[in-house]
Structure 1
Amino acid sequence: MFTGIVDGFATVFDIKKKKKIHNLTTKLPSTLCKNIKIGDSIAHNGCCLTVKKIENYYIMCDIIEETLKSTNLGFLKIGENVNIERSVKYGDEIGGHIISGHVTNTVEIVKILNSDNNYILWLRLKNKNLKKYIFKKGFICLDGISLTVGNIIEDKFCVNIIPQTLFHTTIRNKKHGSLMNIEIDFYTQTIVDTTERLINEKNINIL
């Protein structure tokens, strides 16, 4: 489990591409290496990966085919930075919102508005079936970052980025057309799906 408060950057050091799986090696900052061990869960751009190997500040994780298809991890390049968050431990503060690390899909950046102390990203849903889970002022997780939804227009929505988030995550490196991982808020999805199911069951009973 994660909170959407990014701990720092990791730099992609090596990618070994095999059939239906990638072996990803990243270099962590020393501050994130304390007590890390094989089997730990670490979110890379919001995607929960399991540590397979550790050498000093370098960790290796496997990215399976399904993850490559549904996230932006398959497009990573050597030297690129990814957002990193270590899993929550008992007693940790939940600074953002509850995140599973199971990325739903990707969204595409269609507009970046940047002015003094005001940075807004507009994003388009690739999977339009996710629109029913996007609510103004609702939680959303993008590349592992807990954010709040702003305006919504058709299959597009925006998020406002505060300076702290802009300078301490990979958002500052994003461009028009960049893909970001999206994880729908679990509680929002549960409420919407349950409501839909109850309405459908009621309609069936009426018939």
Structure 2
Amino acid sequence: MFTGIVEAVGQVRSTVASGIGRHLVLDIGQLAERPELGGSVSINGVCLTVVELKWPEAAFDVVAETVARSNLGELGPGGRVNLELSLRVSDRIEGHFVLGHVDTTCRIGRVQDEPPGRRLFFEPSDLEYLRYVVPKGSVALDGISLTVADRSDRGFSVAIIPETLRRTTLVDKGVGAVVNLETDVLVKAVVQRLEGSAGDRDGRLIETLRRSGFEVG
């Protein structure tokens, strides 16, 4: 499990096809702490296991399902990725609970300057996941915990502060770029619980989210 607070930006050394998907080698030397062999690292929001470690490089195997569902298959040598080590029980949670299980990808449809930061507008490749995107709620985009500013029936936007741009790969992203989306597991749980009940599910969902502090409707 992760929090969506990016610890460092790594660089792709190599990526090759393998029998299970792809074999990815990264320079992760910017991390303040070394992961253990067999440990978990969030790579652009995807939870991957360290299969080889020759500091400052680490290797990861990416299965075909993850390649198809995420942007990891688009990476090439020199590409930059967001890194976060897995959460420990004693750690402070400053973002939100991120599992590292990407739901789908999003395309950046528009970039709007809002000095000193900017607003990015995202269009999910699978609109089904918009049901879990709630204004003022959380999403993880390429592993970054962000607050949803607004949502429509085609996508959503987030406001990015300069510090987030400086510390992550979002500074590199423009219109047409593809990022990984993981929606909030707590919102998913609420939605799926209510959809499994009879009655006015939409009304109860809205009321439950409002009581939880979300601004809905």
Bucket of the pairwise TM-score, normalised by the shorter protein: over 0.9
1:29 shift after superposition? 2.2
Measure how far apart 1:9 and its partner are: 0.6
Number of aligned positions between the proteins: 201
Secondary structure of the residue aligned to 2:51 is strand
Distance 1:65 1:201 in 2: 39
Shift of 1:201: 11
Within 5 Å, which residues of 2 pair with 1:84-95?
A: 84-95=83-94
Other-structure match for 1:164: 163
Aligned to 2:2: 2
Q: Which moved more, 1:52-61 or 1:115-124?
A: 115-124
Q: Percent identity?
A: 32
Structure 1 residue 127 displacement after superposition:
0.7
Take 1:89 and 1:9, find their aligned partners in 2: how far apart are those partners? Answer: 20
| In 2, Cα distance between equivalents of 1:19 and 1:200 | 48
Task: State how far apart, in whole Å, the 2-side matches of 1:13 and 1:200 are.
Answer: 54
Matches within 5 A, 1:109-120: 109-120=108-119
Q: Could you tell me which residue of structure 2 aligns to residue 17 of structure 1?
A: 17
Give the aligned CA root-mean-square deviation in angstroms: 1.6
1:61, distance to aligned residue in structure 2 (A): 0.2
Q: TM-score by structure 1 length? A: 0.93
Map of 1:123-138 to 2, 5 A cutoff?
123-138=122-137
1:97 corresponds in structure 2 to 96
Q: Is the 8 A contact 1:9 1:29 kept in 2?
A: no
2:33 maps to 1:47: no
| TM score, norm. by length of structure 2 | 0.89
Contact 1:51/1:59 (8 A) holds in 2: yes
**Residue 31 (structure 1) shift:** 3.9
Counterpart of 1:205?
Answer: none
Cα distance in 2 for residues equivalent to 1:54 and 1:148 = 34
Matched-pair contact (CA < 8 Å) for 1:33–1:57: no
Matches within 5 A, 1:143-158: 143-158=142-157
Structure 2 counterparts to residues 21-36 of structure 1, below 5 A: 21-34=21-34, 36=35
d(CA) in 1 for partners of 2:117 and 2:160? Answer: 7
Structure 2: how far apart are the matches of 1:94 and 1:46?
A: 16
1:83 is aligned to 82
- What displacement does 1:10 show? 0.7
Q: Classify the secondary structure of the residue corresponding to 1:32.
A: coil
1:114 is matched by which residue type in structure 2? Answer: D
Asked whether 1:65 is paired with 2:67, we answer: no
| Deviation at residue 33 of structure 1 after TM alignment | 4.2
Q: What stretches of structure 1 of length at least 5 have no aligned partner? A: 203-207
